[in-house]
Structure 1
Amino acid sequence: MQIKKSYKFALKTTFLITLLLTLILSVFLSIFYELKWYPLLAFALLCYITSFFVIQYRVQNFIYKRVKKIYDDLKLLESTSFKKERITTDMATLTQEIDKYARDKKIEIETLKVREEYRKEFLGNVSHELKTPLFTVQGYLETLIDGAANDKKIRDKYLDRANKGVERLIYIVKDLDMITSLEVGNLSMELEHFDIVALIESVFDLFEMKAHKKRISLTFDIDYTAPILVKADKEKIQQVLTNLIVNSIKYGREKGTTEVSIENLIKNKVIVRITDNGEGIEKRNIPRLFERFYRVDKSGSRKEGGSGLGLAIVKHIIEAHDEKIYIESEFGVGSEFSFTLEKAK
C-alpha cells in the first residue's frame, strides 16, 4: 500500500524535528540535570506524534487551499476540462493535469488559427469568384443602359454575354449549395445498382466535342464487354466522373489521352482510375487539392472557367458513400485520380 506523499513529507519532517529536539534536550539534561533515558524516550515519542499531526494538518490544509484555487481558476477558463472529481494535493498529479490542459489549449489555439486563415482565404476566393461575373454583367448592362441598346447587333451580343455571366453565377451558387449540403450531411443519397462502364461511356459522349477541340482521346484501358455493376448514387457518381474527366481535358496536353480503368480491389470493391498525360501537379499542391476554391494555377485555371469547387465536391460525394479517393501525380508527366465503389451484390 502506497503512502501519500504528504504523509511521507510529514513523517520525514517530524523525524528531523524530533531528532533535533531530543538531542538538544539530552545535552541540556546531561549538563544541568541527571540524564535519564525513559523521560527522554517519552518526550521523543510525544514530540514525534504531536509534530506529525500538526505538520500533516498544516501542510494538507495549506496545499489543499491553494490547489483548490488553481482548480477553480482553471474551471473558469474551461468548465468541461475539469469535471467534478476529488481534488488531489499530489503535486505530480496536479502538474500532469495542468500540462494536459496547457497542451489541449495550445492545440485548440493552433486549430483556431488554421481555421481563421482558411476562413480568410475562403472568403477572399468566394469574393473573387463572384466578383468577376458580377462586374461583367454589370458592365454590359450599364453599356446597354447608356444607349448601346439602340443598336440591335450590340444589344444582342451584350445580352448574350451578360446571360453567360449570370449562368456562371448560378453555376457557382449551385456548387456552393451542393458542397454545403454535403459537408453538413443534409444531401440525401439514392443508392441503386447500375453499370459503371455504361455510365463512363455516357460521360465520354457528353464531352467528346470538348476533348476533340484539344485532340484528346477519351478511352478505356481495355474493352469492357460485360457490365460491372456497382451500388451507389448514380447521379452523384456521374458528377464525380464529369468533374474528373473535365479536369483531365482542361489540364491535358494537346493530342493527349484520358484513360479510364476499372479494377477489382477486394472482394466487394472496385476502383475506378482516371489517368491523363497532362501537365501534372507539383507535390506541394497535392495536400490542398480538394479544398474549396483552391487552384494550382491561379491565373490559368480561371481562364478555363469552372467554379473552383469541382474537386471539393468530388471528395465529399465519395466520402458520403463511405468510399476513398486517391491522387497520384508527377509534374510534367500526368495525374491519376482514383476512387473506390461498392460492388452490387
Structure 2
Amino acid sequence: MQAKFKKSYRFAIKTSLYVTVYITLLMSVFLYYFYVPKWFLILGFSVSVFVFSFLIVQFSVERFIYKRVKKIYDDLTLLESASIRKGSITTDMRTLTQEIDKFARDKKIEIETLKVREEYRKEFLGNVSHELKTPLFTVQGYILTLLDGAMDDKNIREKYLQRASKGIERLGYIIKDLDMITKLEVGDLRLNIDVFDIVELVENVFDMLEMKAAKKRITLTFDTDYNSPILVRADKERIQQVLANLIVNSIKYGNEKGTTEVSVENLIKNKVIVRVTDNGEGIMKRHLPRLFERFYRVDKSGSRKEGGSGLGLSIVKHIIEAHDERIYVESEYNVGSEFSFTLEKAE
C-alpha cells in the first residue's frame, strides 16, 4: 500500500528567502554605487530570485531527499502496522524527525518486551515439561515394571498401582490448574459473587487442613478472637481456594511446631485485608517479584520436597485480580512470610 505523500514548503521557503535577501542586498549595494537605484527594479529582481530559488530548492529536496524517504516508508513492510503509517508522510523535516524518533523508541520498547516474553516462554516451557515429566515417568516406570513380571506378585502389584495412581492424580491436578489459569486469563471463568462471613470461611479452611498441619505440629490460629461476623462480597468458593492455597503453602514451608496465623482487618471504609502469616523458612527478596509466575521455583535444584502442581500462587493471584483486588507478599528469609489480599466489605 502506497503511503500518501504530504508536501511541506517550509524548508524551501526559508532557504529561498535567505538566498533572496542576500542577493538583493548585494545587488542593492552594487546599484547604489554604480547606477541610479530604481526600487521597482530591485523589487522585481528580488521576486524573480525568490521564485527561482524556491523552485530549485523545492525540486531538489523532493527529488533527492523526500522521494527517497517516501520509498523507505513504502519498502519497509514492518512499518505497515506502526503508528507512523496512520498519517501521511510529511516533507516537514522537524515533524518527520519527531515521527521517526517516536517510531524508533516504540520499536525499541517492543523489541525489549518481546525479548522478555521469549525468555519467559522458554522458562515456562521448561517448567511445564519438568512438572509433567516427573509424574509421567514415574507412572511409566511402575507400569513397565509390572509388565516385566512384577504384577505376578500381589503385594508389589498393589503397591505399584497405588503409586501409579498418585502420579496420575498429580498429572490431573496440573492439567486442572492450567485449565483454570487459562480461563482466568481470558476472562472465561465466571465469578459467583455473594455475601458471606470471611471469618467462618477461614474456620472451615482450618478444619479442612487440621490433619495436614498436625503432621508438622503447626498451629492454625487467628490473631485475635472474632466474636462478630465480618461480611465480604466475593466468590465464596474461589476465596476458599485462595485461603486453602496460602495456608497449605505456609504448612509446607513452615517449621516444625510453627504457627500459621490469619487476621482480618479493616483497610478503608469499604475494604478489608486478609493476612496469612507464618514463621517458616521465608523467601529471599530476589524471588519475590516472580513468586506468582506459573511454575516459578524458589528452589532451583530441580527437586521438590513437597508435592503440588506448582501453580497454586499463580491461581491465587489470578482469582484475586479477577475480583479487581490486590494481593501482596512480604517475607524475610529464615524469619517467615506474610501473604495478604484485599476484599470488598459488605454493608
Query: After TM superposition, is the score higher than 0.5?
Result: yes
Aligned equivalents of 2:66, 2:78: Cα separation in 1 = 16
SS at match of 2:175: helix
Partner of 2:15 in structure 1? 9
Q: Which amino acid aligns with 1:70?
A: V
1:203 aligns with 2:205: yes
Q: Which runs of 5+ in 2 are unaligned?
A: 1-8
1:6-155 mapped onto 2 (5 Å cutoff) = 6-21=12-27, 23=29, 30=34, 35-38=35-38, 41-64=39-62, 66-67=65-66, 69-71=68-70, 73-74=72-73, 76-80=77-81, 81-83=83-85, 85-155=87-157
Q: Which runs of 4+ in 1 moved over 6 A?
A: none
Q: Of the candidates 294, 305, 317, which is equivalent to residue 307 of structure 2?
A: 305
Deviation at 1:166, TM superposition (A): 0.3
Partner of 1:223 in structure 2? 225
Tell me, yes or no, if the aligned pair for 1:194 and 1:230 is still in contact at 8 Å.
Answer: yes
Note the alpha carbon deviations across 1:279-314, whole angstroms, 9 max, x for none.
111111100001110011134872201111111100
SS at match of 1:254: coil
1:248-287 mapped onto 2 (5 Å cutoff) = 248-287=250-289
1:294 aligns with 2:300: no
Note the alpha carbon deviations across 1:96-120, whole angstroms, 9 max, x for none.
1100000000000000010000000
After TM superposition, the score normalised by the length of structure 1 is 0.91
SS at match of 2:91: coil
Deviation at 1:53, TM superposition (A): 1.6
Partner of 2:4 in structure 1? none
Tell me, yes or no, if the aligned pair for 2:31 and 2:37 is still in contact at 8 Å.
Answer: no
Deviation at 1:22, TM superposition (A): 5.0
SS at match of 2:293: coil
Q: Which amino acid aligns with 1:13?
A: V
CA RMSD of aligned residues (A): 2.0
Tell me, yes or no, if the aligned pair for 2:79 and 2:85 is still in contact at 8 Å.
Answer: no
Q: Which amino acid aligns with 1:293?
A: F
Q: Which runs of 5+ in 1 are unaligned?
A: none
Q: Which amino acid aligns with 1:73?
A: I
The 3 A distance-change label for structure 1 pair 299 and 208 is farther
The 3 A distance-change label for structure 1 pair 247 and 198 is same
Q: Which amino acid aligns with 1:37?
A: P
How many residue pairs end up in the alignment? 335
The farther-off stretch of 189-198 and 44-53 is 44-53
After TM superposition, the score normalised by the length of structure 2 is 0.91
The farther-off stretch of 254-263 and 297-306 is 297-306
SS at match of 2:275: strand
Deviation at 1:327, TM superposition (A): 0.9
